[in-house]
Structure 1
């Protein structure tokens, strides 16, 4: 990893622009990769390729959950990096996907002020943020801190920070799978603020003070501390999560508020809804009675199933209606799942995937890929011929087990 001291020489002009060219400096913590204000992360993200030399950097312009469905090669390991105030774009499904990602031998470096509860429960740790209610610039400016690194290679050096250092630390953790890599001094006591949690074949590196990665500290001679933190990551390619997109495929993000629920929350609108439905029903009844005609006798048709099937298939092929064929292929597969494996298919969640893999004898990863492909294609308005062919082959290979 290239020394940050050398990197900062190339961006000296930037420091002048940030702190001297503006009439009023924005001291709000935003952690945005394109933001050049003191507490943005422009420097570290802009110099990522130099920091991780000979390692491919992929900036995630989509949600990690969506990216992992189609882009991660299970034969290679990666480093996932997230530096934000909180993981507000991460759903429960996204947390599960990240845990699975690390479990298979990858690494994740996550620096947050606030970790989600389900994430803490899964990794068996708790945090204590004594300054969680302090948010104004004036309040945060008074918060100072001293950090230590436990790795003997770094010596006994201390790292002092002069502002915006919340008293945020790890309170409880599973000592059987957790190593304390760094500490901070709070009320005279050293407590952990940087830990490594082993998970499956990989590991999570968690830090409770993301502010140390911002422009302000990298331009104030604190780059050595950041370099030491990131040096724990393996020499693998990097997935840098800018955390700007919500998931398109996570079921939690597909739940839209019902308009009927809104009507039922207000008494007057509820009555309006009932009266309107009753009026519509009466109109349909009287109108149907007035226009009803005698039902003619229909002679039973001959059994032309084969000819009909041939005609329909030719029609789809001539019209290139691949989406219709994809929908029918999905319906055929789900019916097979219900009849062959006796599994309910109304909710294609993680539990469904694991149960289907167990009953069918297929690998969990293969089953997840098929079901996630079905979910993605089901939401599309149009499908290509290539997608239809791939889906057909995946279903046929799956059912051969």
Structure 2
């Protein structure tokens, strides 16, 4: 390895080590992602609520879509949906309505509940945002005097209040909410939790899923809100906990998800990638000896021809050379000009028309050919003259 490479590599390694040191000693930022996953211990995870739920109820995880789960008619109990958005499609809503009609309970706690379901139950919702305050701090409570708290439960984060703005005789108000220190209309507490009877069963619709997050339940005595909410559920029935409609993953399908969610594993992974790149840059060059370039074989036809010609000249076989020159000339005329010299009587006229040679030059060439063919002994001078005339003829083709 060259000296410049070593210096560059050392500088990169020092910078990398410094970066890793700074990152390792940096305080990890709070993750405010609205996961609602029972596995997550981040503020918007539901680990605390889920573990408390398992202490009082028989909880079964459902990792498939509702449409598939509700195909099994033997499943009875409470179907619990908890997420930022529960967007059931029409087919799933139809299945869920039939399931509830048999005497089961569906709990949906979400800021945005499926419009198809709300239309079926003849409900609408709205969003309340204070116009005279920058931050909206929502407050929650129950309507039942035995469950109602003296002071509202406070969610100390900026959050709009989602509420039901139209009710009918099928709904019973169970919970209310309002914005802290808000003076804009509507000023009164707004409905955020209702019970909707449906044939033999019921829907419990709740528009404030953040009240079940780790952040909310671990603040002051807010855990009591979740305890009172569970009073509306039958403890004898199993709870089917939905994991399909979750913003956070409940099942890790990729090993990278686990690695990248751990601070130390993540940086170890990055370090390996960087080391691999550096190795390719500095050690990836070919270290074997250079391969000798083998030149392709040369076309030695010309040299071969010169050698053969030299042999004829050395043996002074001028007639043999002259006959071969005449044969090659005749073949050339046949191929290139399509004139058969041996058969055509007007060959001179034909060649004069197809080439730029004069009649005198053509007749002189054929006279020389005829002379050599008649002679008993061909001299070197005759051979040289024939060669000159053929070359002159070829130039004017």
TM-score (norm 2): 0.50
